Structure 1
Amino acid sequence: MLLRILGTVVVIAAALLAALFVWPQAAGLQNEWVFAHVVALRGVAAAAALAGAVVFAAIALARRFRVFAGAMAAVLAASALGNAAVLGVRGIGGADAEAPSDLTVLSWNTLGEVPSAEVIAGLAVDSGADVVVLPETTEALGEEIAVEMREAGSPMWVWTTAFDEIAKARSTTLLISPELGDYEVVSAEGSGPPGNTNTLPTVVAAPVDGEGPTIVAVHAVAPIRWEMRNWRSDLDWLAEQCSAGEVVMAGDFNATIDHFAGRGVDGGQFGRCADAADAAGAAGLGTWPTDLPKLLGSPIDHVLASPEWRATSFEVVGAYDDAGSDHRPVVARLVRAG
């Protein structure tokens, strides 16, 4: 009897925990330690839960602890199905090189400049990028990329914000086509709100004449144990940048749309902004790490835009998985709404 009661308690606890791992937003846990990490890797979580369900099902078939094992198999199978359903709803397509575009945005965390200027510029030119966001890229490489693009017929202005010269990860570079007009950097050089993200730099560039979107090149810190406070602060600050005016932001958010929950205003997902991958049906595809297939990876690289813009396609580019970075580049095509 005691074992049966204990087994029931374990199954109920497992079911509750599994539900919270599938949808931590229900209890406001999406930005908390452990929950934030599990929900970021839904594909892995689904695969692990499915494997666990198979193991418990085998135990149940062997008639040892049949009721308990069968119940645990059901809980884990439901967890796997729940995560798979979320990924399915968010989409695993979205790529359309022929989609209409008034603004094409490329973002690629270069892992401290591992891909060459030639490779990055080639992708930018081939995709027809008007805006290129490069976390972990210094000004020197940004200028090399701009030269390569100019020689290919796609000139770019270059802006870089660096918190220091010690690590390339402490630099973020933004390239903008002159066809979008004149821009100037308006974010502070120092780290932390109110002028920037806390640990890794974000570049905020505004149109000089006020016509066109403010462009935000994002690099939020990863939610490692000792950076959780800064990670949450980074996401709060970035959401504020998208809470007023016309904005397009892109980069490495180190967060999925699960972590955006609770940060939307006026009907937006993140501030007033909407996620281009979600709108295009590609938000279930992982951009990090390249060691994992897209279906198992974490979709932490984003392009977001305020309601003045609408996404027509979003591609997680897998052709550069051997280029050296642990992030896949993403390309979003946007059109003027209305």
Structure 2
Amino acid sequence: MTDHRAMRTLGWIAVALIAVAAVATLDPARLGPDGATLSTANAAMQFIALRPWLVLGFTVAATLTGLLAAGMLRWRGRAPRLITVVVILGLTAVGHGAVLAGRGLSAGGVPTAATETADEITLLNLNLRGRAADTDDVVDLVREAGVDVLVLPESGGDVLGELADALAAAGERFEAFAGTRGVSDPDGTGILVSESMGAYEEVPSTERSVLRIVPVSGDGPPITAVHPRSPPGIRTALVRPQALQTWRDEVAAVAPLCAQTPGGIVAGDFNATLDHAPMRTIAPCVDASVLAGIGGVSTYPVRMPALLGTTIDHVLIDPADFEVTAGAVVEVPGTDHRGVLIRLVPVR
């Protein structure tokens, strides 16, 4: 009898541990001290970046455990611990799904240039993957949507110039900014600004992953493009922990830039999701994709279905400065990222 009671106690302890672990996956950014939360720890940071897979994983685990519980009920007539685990796993799956649904699971529709009003700004945030992206398709998208600003991680000066020339040939004139990393650097980040936005100039930055431009006349929003280094894989982080710390430091450096730039727009490939702790420092700014109802759609990698990847490309704005009037997650052949297209109107 004593052994049986001890086994039941151990069983409930195991259930409690499963519950704690499952709940921890819902918001690991809250667990741990600032700058070192569970969401930025090796293994945990890779898993929380793939929240859609956590929905699937917990759903499958709940289903399999439910089948086991059904067998135990038929065999022994009771299975309280297994049933409890089924409920825990099912609720965790629902919780992860609710987070994604709250951010928006629609890819949206590309707004047309004809519907853009004089005071609206249409921005395309697209990782070009060097020369891989199809230039003609980018030009077509810019013309279709009436894009005023392109934030282009992994473009480099040469690619940026070619795209600007292609746009000019199509009657769309843009000013190009390639940053200070060198005009032939394929990993560099560039910005193209339509001449209709007025003249802009670059503000030097000490951060390798930041390119910031401001209007010469003072009109128009400051625009900041960011591209922190990508995090290492689980195995690489074990042998090179500094690589993981570099990722933490670079994301932590760029996440607050929107809040530090009144009236500004910060966009790029952040190599982090809204579930990683550094991205919790963006307040009062928000991800414009969430306001547009497209924030739960993955932007990387394109080879995965849009609802099964990770969302690491963001456009950050302060809702006190801008209202989001349209948004879409778009695919351009050649690049491994989906682009984020956001239309904004300044709040007067």
Letter matched to residue 92 of structure 1? L
* Partner AA of 1:179 in structure 2: S
> Residue 5 of structure 1: which of 9, 24, 49 is its match?
9
CA contact 1:18–1:79 (8 Å) conserved in 2:
yes
The equivalent residue for 1:285 is 297
How many Å apart are 1:254 and its aligned residue?
1.2
1:241 to 2:254 alignment = no
Q: SS in structure 1 opposite 2:276? A: helix
Q: Quick check: 1:244–1:272 contact (8 Å CA) kept in 2?
A: no
The match for 2:99 is 86
What's the counterpart of residue 122 of structure 2?
Answer: 104
Q: Equivalent residue for 2:344? A: 334
Aligned mate of 1:133, from 123, 139, 151: 151
Partner of 2:189: 172
| AA of the residue aligned to 2:218 | G
Unmatched runs of 5 consecutive residues or more in structure 2: none
Output the CA distance in 2 between the equivalents of 1:121 and 1:81.
Answer: 40
Give 1:293 deviation, angstroms: 1.6
Counterpart of 1:246 in 2: which secondary structure? coil
Cα gap change, 1:272/1:100 in structure 2, threshold over 3 Å: closer, same or farther?
A: farther
- The answer (yes or no) to whether the contact 2:122–2:147 under 8 Å persists in 1 is yes
What CA distance in whole angstroms lies between the structure 1 residues aligned with 2:152 and 2:143? 15
The sequence identity of aligned pairs, in percent, is 30
**C-alpha contact (below 8 Å) 1:43/1:295 kept by paired residues:** yes
The Cα of 1:273 is off from its aligned counterpart by 2.2
1:210 is aligned, of 207, 210, 218, to 218
CA deviation string 1:198-244 (max 9, x = no partner): xxx32111112222211111112223234332222223322342223
Larger radius of gyration: 2
- List aligned pairs for 1:179-328, cutoff 5 A: 179-188=196-205, 195-197=206-208, 201-224=209-232, 225=237, 226=241, 227-242=243-258, 243-259=260-276, 263-264=280-281, 270-306=282-318, 307-318=320-331, 320=332, 323-328=333-338
CA distance in 1, matches of 2:181, 2:245: 19
The Cα shift of 1:138 comes to 1.7
Give 1:118's aligned residue: 136
For these two proteins, the number of residue pairs brought into alignment is 320
Cα shift at 1:288? 0.9
Matched residue SS, 2:82: helix
Tell me, in whole angstroms, the C-alpha distance in 2 between the residues paired with 1:311 and 1:304: 11
Normalized against structure 1, the TM-score is what? 0.86
- The amino acid of 2:247's aligned partner reads W
Encode CA deviations 1:177-204: one digit per residue, 9 max, x unaligned: 111111111133xxxxxx214xxx3211
Cα deviation, 1:49-69, whole Å, max 9, x if unaligned, reads 101111111111221794443
Deviant stretches of 4+, over 6 Å: 164-167
- Which residue of the other structure, out of 72, 81, 86, is the alignment partner of 1:73? 86
